[in-house]
Structure 1
Amino acid sequence: MSGIVLPPALGPALLFCPADRPERYVKAADRSDTVILDLEDAVAPGAKESAREALAASTLDPGHTVVRLNAVGTPDFARDCDAVRRTPYRTVMLAKTESPDDVAAVRAALGAVEVIALCETARGVVNVAEIARAEGVSALMWGAEDLVASLGGTSSRRPDGSYRAVALQARSQVLLAAGAADRQAIDAVYVDITDLDGLAMETDDAVASGFDAKACIHPGQVAAVRAAFAPAAAEVERARAILAAAENERGVFTFEGRMVDEPILRHARRVLGRVSGS
Structure 2
Amino acid sequence: MSFELGPALLFCPADRPERFAGALAKADAVILDLEDAVLPEAKAKARANLLAAELDPSRVIVRVNDPASAHFGDDLEAVARTPFRTVMVAKTEDPATLDAFGEEYALLALCETAAGVLRAPEIAAHPRVVALMWGAEDLVASIGGTASRFADGGYRDIARHARSRVLFAAAAHGRAAIDAVHLDIDDAAGLAQEAADAAASGFRATACIHPKQVPTIREAYRPDAATLDWARVVLAAAEGERGVFRFEGRMVDEPVLRHARAVLARA
> Shorter-chain TM-score category?
over 0.9
Look up the SS of the partner of 2:203 in the other structure: coil
State the partner residue of 2:232.
Answer: 240
1:13-42 C-alpha deviation (Å, 9 max, x unpaired):
000000000000000000000000000000
2:28 to 30, 33, 37: 33
**When the two structures are superposed, what TM-score results if normalisation uses the length of structure 1?**
0.94
1:90-134 C-alpha deviation (Å, 9 max, x unpaired):
1000000002112222x2xx4420000000000000000111111
2:80 matches 1:88: no
State the partner residue of 1:251.
Answer: 243
Is the CA contact (8 Å cut-off) linking 1:140 and 1:178 kept in structure 2? Answer: yes
| CA–CA distance in structure 2, aligned partners of residues 213 and 161 of structure 1 | 20
2:196 matches 1:204: yes
State the partner residue of 1:272.
Answer: 264
Is the CA contact (8 Å cut-off) linking 1:39 and 1:69 kept in structure 2? Answer: yes
Aligned sequence identity (%): 60
| CA–CA distance in structure 2, aligned partners of residues 250 and 60 of structure 1 | 49
Is the CA contact (8 Å cut-off) linking 2:109 and 2:123 kept in structure 1? Answer: yes
1:180 to 169, 172, 176: 172
Q: Which runs of 5+ in 1 are unaligned?
A: none
Equivalence map 1:17-166=2 (5 Å):
17-105=12-100, 107=101, 110-166=102-158
1:144-195 C-alpha deviation (Å, 9 max, x unpaired):
0000000011110111111111101000000010111110000000000011
Equivalence map 1:218-237=2 (5 Å):
218-237=210-229
| CA–CA distance in structure 1, aligned partners of residues 147 and 226 of structure 2 | 39
| CA–CA distance in structure 1, aligned partners of residues 235 and 51 of structure 2 | 47
1:196-242 C-alpha deviation (Å, 9 max, x unpaired):
11110111111111111000000010010000000000100110001
Is the CA contact (8 Å cut-off) linking 1:118 and 1:141 kept in structure 2? Answer: yes
Amino acid at match of 1:211: F
Look up the SS of the partner of 1:75 in the other structure: coil
Give aligned pairs, total. 267
How large is the Cα RMSD of the aligned pairs? 0.9
Is the CA contact (8 Å cut-off) linking 1:20 and 1:50 kept in structure 2? Answer: yes
| CA–CA distance in structure 2, aligned partners of residues 111 and 252 of structure 1 | 43
Q: How many angstroms does 1:73 deviate by?
A: 2.2
Is the CA contact (8 Å cut-off) linking 2:103 and 2:128 kept in structure 1? Answer: no
State the partner residue of 1:6.
Answer: 3
Amino acid at match of 2:58: G
